[in-house]
Every structure is written in C-alpha cells, then in structure tokens.
C-alpha cells in the first residue's frame, strides 16, 4: 500500500487498485464504498487530478458487523461472507460473517421485488457480498441483527461444493482445509485470544522496561541438542533454523539489561503428540542480575498477567470455546514450588517408577499437577537431565539452578527456565562434556570472559500457553497454519 497524503492511500488487490480513505475522526481505514467508481484509476490518481475523497463522501461507508448495533434502525452497507442460507417460501435468510461478528440478511419476497428475490438463489455458502438495507433488532433473536435487504451485490461467487460444513469433521480433513477452517467461529475465537496474548506479552515487558530484541532465525550450529532443520548457506556451508534465541538473548542482556525475544523456533523432532509442532513461537526473556529465585517470580507474574488479561478482555471468545473461566480466574501469583527431589518423592508415593536423576516424564508431570489448581514450579533438576548452560547449584552441585513451570489441567510444560552458568571454566567444561563444537560457542564463552554477570531467563511456549488458556487439547489448533512432521500445507 502506498500513502498518498494524510487522508488517502492507494491499495492494490488481486482485482485492481482502489482507494482507502483515512478519516481523522476514525483512525482505522475504511474502504470507500463505491469501489467500482474508484478502481482502475491508478494513473489518474497519481496525477492528482482525481479526488477520491470527495467522491467517497457522497456515499455511506460500509460498516463492520460489530458496529451494527449502534446503527439499529438506520440504512447500512455491509460487506461480508454468506455462511448459511435458509429459504421459507416467501421469506429467505442469509447468515453473514465478516470476522467481527455475525448478522442475518432478510429477504421478504413481497418487499424486495422479483429481481432481488431471484438473486437470493445465487447466494451459496461463502459467497462474498455487499448488502445494503435497514439494520433492525429481531425480537425473536435479539443476539443477531437483521438487515432488511434493499440492495445485493455479489462480489465473489462461491461454488456449491464448499467443503466445510457446520458439523463434525475429522482432524485430517480440517487441517487439509485449514485456509477455510479459519473462517469458523471457534477458530476465530482462538485467533482473537492468541492475538490478545501476544499483545499482552508486549505490554507486560514494555511496561517493565524490557527491550525487545529480535534474534536470528538462520544460525550456525548452536543451541540445544534435539533435531535441527538444515539449509544451504552460500560459502558458509550449512545453516540451521534457530531452536532458541536464548544464547543471543544472553548477549543482549549484557548490552541492554532486561530483554526479551519473541519469534518462531524450529525443531526437527519426529514428535507426534498434542504438545509438539516443528515450528512454534517462543518468548524468551533474559534479565541481567536476576538469580533463579527472581526468575521464577518474573515467570509467575508474567503468566498471571497473560491469563488475567484474556479473562478481562476476551470473555466472549472464552465463552465461544466453552472454557471454564473460573479455572482461569484462580491463576494468581504466587505459584506452588516443588524442588526436584521433593517432586520425585511425591510421584514415587503415587506409584511412579521415577528415580532420582531421571528427568520427569509426562506421566510424572501429570501426577504432580493433579493436586493443584495453579501452575506448578519444579526447580533444581539434576545436571545430567538439563542443558549445558544452566548454572551449577552451589548448595548441591549434582543439580542446576533451573525450573520448569507445569500448566494445570494436564496441559504440560509451559516454561523452561534457568539461571545461566556465569563461570567461564565451568561453562567450558560443560560444553566439552556434551561434546559440543567449542568453536561455535566462542562468542558465547566471551560473555563470561568480558564482564561476566549473574543472569537468568526462560522460554515460554506460546502455543502451549494459548492451548491451556483456551482449553484446547491439541496445540495445532492455536496457530493459524501449523507445521508438523507430516504437514507442510496449506
């Protein structure tokens, strides 16, 4: 899009070029209604002889469906998609959706005339339309506004074989048609909540003086142990898609103090569970001078903030998903904390075969979480079970200063965090123990040579967090276009 001046802009679509009016009173841009009048006039507009604004002002702007209740009793213009048609002899209905809400277009044969009545038959599921008429409250169904149609323009017809129906579908079919599935009310609710969470993340850190740092997606061999996606990279050989931004985040924390990253990460793990994607989004704060205790405090404040923000602002969407909101309202800091040794003893009492030194498996996590209605911290795991960069626990060198945060209701591990090893010699020894290529970590080791510092951070899995908040069992549903082992399209 190209801005012309403070009030107009040119917008190009697949169908042509038309104008958007920027109203000082209404900051969100609205398309001019008479699109045909403005289309295909790029050259004229460039020469500044054409003034789309004055022409625009002669017509009423189209409204979003969410704005309709404020215009009840008035003549309105709406652009939307038809989700459903029903006919009853001499009255016909077309359910409408535009992403902001739903409405119902009403055609009464005796009022609309034969021509408009006949054109109702052209409406099929997912036809895109411009409809003009009177907005009015229907006493029989006050929640959905009627539009008594006086004008109908079919913008994009839709063949009668639209695959998504208002009924149960298999997950394979739905994922094959994800580009259509997103149009359903439930998927819209999930994406709205995802957007709310993302906005809340940025607000939380901005308000607390964190600097957002964008870390690279193409990296040399560095990061964690599990599978890497590889790609050719000019003369440098092989590049890998980032599994984490953490190591870069540590460098940024030494420069800026408090930082966070927000971006996609990639794991070529052949995982087939409801908790795994090959491409997922992660938030990774890194804070200079935070120890492990302060790190956990930040985590619980952060999680509380995200959950309560959604509860406060996205109640309709939570209701659409039939989420038990009372379970979310209870999510307030502080969260219960179990050190690893106590956690092992707990799951052993409950019949687990886990023994000290093992990482806790999914079943063990479920045993821990079942006693609580808040997320639970498990902290200070054995060194062998955790990554090389975690700081040795001075009180028990068999363990490291780290924590997992387990979501309630069986949604699993939401956060992994730790205080980082700040001792050069110990970090070097751990890199060697792990058999990692030292030359790839020279810059990371430099952070300990030039002004080492206590610091800690964590990674929060965005999709796991949203799945928990939404009460969605599988995280593939909380990202618009999930990437999994067997799914690369759409």
Partner RNA sequence: UCCCCAGUAGCUCAGUUGGUCAGAGCAUCCGACUGUUAAUCGGAGGGUCGUAGGUUCAAGUCCUACCUGGGGAGCCA
d(CA 156, CA 149): 18
SS (H, E, C) 256-320: HCEEEEEEEEECCCCCCCCCCCCEEEEEEEEEECCCHHHHHHHHHHHHHHHHHHHHHHCHHHHHH
Q: 220-227: which pairs have CB atoms within 8 A and are 24 or more residues apart? A: 220/440, 221/437, 221/440, 222/247, 222/440, 222/441, 222/444, 223/247, 224/387, 225/387, 225/434, 226/267, 226/268, 226/269, 227/267, 227/268, 227/269, 227/270
Q: Which of residues 275-314 bind RNA (CB under 7 A)?
A: 275-278, 280, 282
In the chain, % helix, strand, coil (3-state, to 5) comes to 35, 25, 40
Q: Give the range of 17-25, 64-72, 107-115, 344-352 binding RNA by CB under 7 A.
A: 107-115
DSSP assignment letter at 24: S
Verify binding: residue 104, RNA, rule CB under 7 A.
yes
- Backbone dihedral angles phi then psi of residue 70, each to the nearest 5 degrees: -75, -10
Pick the closest to residue 420 from 437, 438, 395, 401 (CA basis). 401
Instruction: For residues 475 and 467, give the distance between their C-alpha atoms in angstroms, rounded to a whole number.
Output: 6
Terminal Cα distance for the chain, rounded: 26
Among 27-35, 203-211, 251-259, 271-279, the segment contacting RNA (CB under 7 A):
271-279
CB nearer to RNA: pick between 39 and 87 = 87
Of positions 30, 55, 119, 169, contacts RNA by CB under 7 A: 169
Rule CB under 7 A: which of 399-458 touch RNA? 412-416
If binding is defined by CB under 7 A, does position 179 make contact with RNA? no
Using CB under 7 A, which of 195, 273, 332, 353 touches RNA?
Answer: 273
Q: Which of residues 362, 429, 445, 480 is near RNA by CB under 7 A? A: 362
Which of 21, 374 has the CB closer to RNA?
Answer: 374
Of residues 220, 385, 436, 440, which one binds RNA by CB under 7 A? 385
- Two structure tokens written together for 440: 């790839």
DSSP 192-233: HHHHHHHHHHHHHHHHTTPEE-PPPSEESS-S-SS---EEE-
Interface residue with RNA, options 463, 466, 469, 470 (CB under 7 A) = 463
- Ramachandran assignment for 234, one of left (phi > 0), alpha (psi -120 to 50 degrees), beta (any other): left
Burial of 483: CB neighbours in 10 Å, binned 0-12, 13-18, 19+? middle
Among 127, 244, 299, 380, binds RNA (CB under 7 A): 244
> 213 to 232, contacts with RNA by CB under 7 A?
224-226
Contact track, RNA, 311-350, x by CB under 7 A: ----------------------------------------
- Counting residues that bind RNA (by CB under 7 A) gives 73
Residue 127 CB, shortest distance to RNA, in Å, is 11
CB 402 within 8 A of CB 386: yes
Is 361 among the residues that bind RNA (CB under 7 A)?
yes
Of 34-42, 203-211, 267-275, 314-322, the segment contacting RNA by CB under 7 A is 267-275
Q: Give the span between the Cα atoms of 465 and 411, in whole angstroms.
A: 8
Measured from the CB atom, is 246 or 290 closer to RNA?
246
By the rule CB under 7 A, 27 interacts with RNA: no
Q: Judge contact between 190 and 478, C-beta under 8 A.
A: yes
- Assess 26 for contact with RNA (CB under 7 A): no
- Least CB distance to RNA at residue 86 (A): 4
Using the rule CB under 7 A, is 258 a contact of RNA? no
Shortest Cβ 122–RNA spacing (Å): 10
Q: Does 160 bind RNA (CB under 7 A)?
A: yes
Selected range binding RNA among 171-179, 247-255, 424-432, 448-456, rule: CB under 7 A: 171-179
Residue 474 binds RNA (CB under 7 A): yes
Among 49, 167, 355, 489, binds RNA (CB under 7 A): 167
Positions 137 through 156 that interact with RNA (CB under 7 A): 138, 140-141, 144, 146, 148
CB closer to RNA out of 329 and 433 = 433
């Amino acid at each position: 899009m190209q801005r012309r001046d403070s009030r107009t802009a040119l917008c190009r679509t697949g169908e042509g070029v038309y104008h958007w009016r920027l109203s000082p009173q209404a900051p969100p841009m609205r398309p001019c209604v008479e699109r045909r009048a403005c289309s295909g006039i790029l050259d004229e507009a460039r020469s500044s002889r054409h003034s789309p604004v004055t022409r625009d002002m002669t017509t009423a702007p189209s409204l979003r469906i969410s704005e309709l209740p404020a215009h009840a009793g008035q003549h309105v213009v709406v652009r939307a998609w038809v989700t459903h048609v029903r006919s009853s002899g001499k009255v016909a209905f077309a359910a409408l959706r535009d992403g902001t809400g739903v409405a119902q277009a009403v055609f009464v044969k005796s009022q609309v005339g034969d021509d408009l009545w006949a054109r109702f038959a052209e409406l099929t599921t997912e036809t895109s339309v411009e409809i003009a008429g009177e907005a009015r409250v229907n006493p029989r169904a006050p929640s959905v506004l009627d539009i008594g149609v006086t004008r109908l323009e079919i913008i994009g017809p839709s063949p009668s074989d639209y695959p998504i129906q208002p009924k149960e579908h298999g997950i394979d079919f739905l994922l094959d048609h994800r580009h259509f599935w997103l149009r359903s009310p439930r998927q819209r609710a999930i994406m709205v909540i995802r957007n709310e969470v993302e906005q809340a993340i940025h607000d939380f850190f901005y308000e607390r003086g964190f600097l957002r740092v964008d870390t690279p997606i193409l990296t040399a061999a560095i990061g964690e142990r599990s599978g890497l996606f590889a790609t050719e990279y000019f003369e440098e050989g092989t590049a890998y898609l980032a599994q984490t931004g953490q190591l870069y985040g540590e460098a940024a924390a030494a420069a800026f103090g408090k930082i966070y990253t927000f971006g996609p990460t990639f794991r070529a793990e052949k995982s087939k569970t409801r908790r795994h994607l090959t491409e997922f989004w992660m938030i990774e704060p890194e804070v200079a001078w935070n120890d492990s205790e302060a790190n956990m405090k930040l985590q619980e404040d952060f999680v509380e903030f995200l959950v309560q923000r959604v509860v406060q602002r996205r109640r309709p969407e939570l209701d659409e998903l039939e989420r038990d909101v009372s379970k979310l309202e209870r999510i307030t800091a502080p969260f219960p904390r179990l050190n690893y040794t106590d956690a092992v003893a707990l799951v052993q009492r409950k019949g687990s075969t886990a023994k000290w030194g093992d990482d806790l498996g999914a079943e063990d996590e479920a045993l821990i979480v079942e006693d609580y209605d808040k997320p639970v911290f498990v902290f200070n795991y054995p060194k062998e079970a955790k990554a090389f960069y975690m700081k040795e626990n001075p009180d028990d060198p068999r363990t490291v200063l780290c924590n997992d945060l387990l979501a309630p209701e069986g949604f699993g591990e939401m956060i992994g965090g730790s205080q980082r090893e700040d001792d050069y010699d110990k970090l070097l020894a751990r890199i060697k123990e792990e058999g990692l290529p030292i030359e790839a970590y020279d810059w990371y080791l430099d952070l300990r040579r030039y002004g080492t510092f206590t610091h800690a951070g964590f990674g929060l899995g965005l999709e796991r967090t949203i799945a928990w908040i939404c009460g969605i069992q599988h995280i593939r549903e909380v990202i618009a276009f999930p990437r999994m082992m067997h799914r690369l399209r759409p």
